[in-house]
Amino acid sequence: MPHCTTRDGVEIFYKDWGSGRPVVFIHGWPLNGDAWQDQLKAVADAGFRGIAHDRRGHGRSTPVYTGYDFDTFADDLNDLLTGLDLREVTLVAHSMGGGELARYIGRHGTSRIKSAVLLSAIPPLMVQGPGNPEGVPGSVFDSIKAGILNERSQFWRDTAVGFFSANRPDSKATAGNQDAFWYMAMAQTIEGGVDCVDAFGYTDFHEDLKKFDIPLLVVHGDDDQIVPIDATARKTAALVPGAELKVYEGGSHGIAMVPGDKERFNRDLLEFLKS
């Protein structure tokens, strides 16, 4: 299986499909690169090279005990891009992966990057505070960590419902979507699961967003029950000059996997890639 070895010896697994200008997909928590299968096929069929990696401690990458912070994730991504010598890259990031994308640009710039897409992403800041009243209370992050530590298998089954807005009467989410979420979540280390909550809950990306000098597409569902749109996507689109915001009415957090929404996202992504 293809792996990239990071500067500290971690083996990062990745898929590499198609040929052409590279599109690198960055998954959310607690998933892995398999979450992007539909998009990998879509871009490869359209003449691009689709690449999706598993974050350290997730999926088929090394199940390390430490390093679950955004500086480390960004440097892992840099090791992948430089190891494969990728240039003119479009980065596409979901949820927590949006923090990885933002911190990568904050630390490594855009010399290899052509454009970026943030899907249901966490920047600029998730946690609620005086300057971010639309955010998520810190007590929610505490309860997430407690759920993982108490009985993570059932916690992931319960979390999958809100992730896909499967609790709505008109939901398009399938039982298969929820099963796939559980399967990927169980392949994440328990330490990574807990540490990532602090990372995505409390990391501030405002300074990273100031360094964006590339075209940016922001896509978010207005029924996202995991990452509130008013605290994240709307603010990011206002902070990055020239950013385009697309709001999916009734869209869940798991847009890229849910029937109907994923086809719409694929069309929007390909249109952005070709523009």
Active site residues: 95, 224, 253
Q: Specify the 3-state DSSP secondary structure of 183.
A: helix
Are 54 and 61 spatial neighbours (Cβ–Cβ below 8 Å)? yes
Are 265 and 247 spatial neighbours (Cβ–Cβ below 8 Å)? no
Burial grade of 135 (CB within 10 A; 0-12, 13-18, 19 or more): buried
Using CA atoms, how far residue 146 sits from 86, 98, 159, 187, 235, in Å, is 39, 24, 13, 18, 29
Residue 48's CB: how many other CB atoms inside 10 A?
22
Instruction: Give the pairing of strands 11-18 and 49-53.
Output: antiparallel
Tokens describing residue 208: 């990273």
What's the number of CA atoms in the CB half-sphere (13 Å) around residue 228?
Answer: 15
Q: Specify the 3-state DSSP secondary structure of 55.
A: coil
Q: Is the peptide bond before 30 cis (omega within 30 degrees of 0)?
A: yes
Q: How far is CA 202 from the centre of its chain?
A: 16
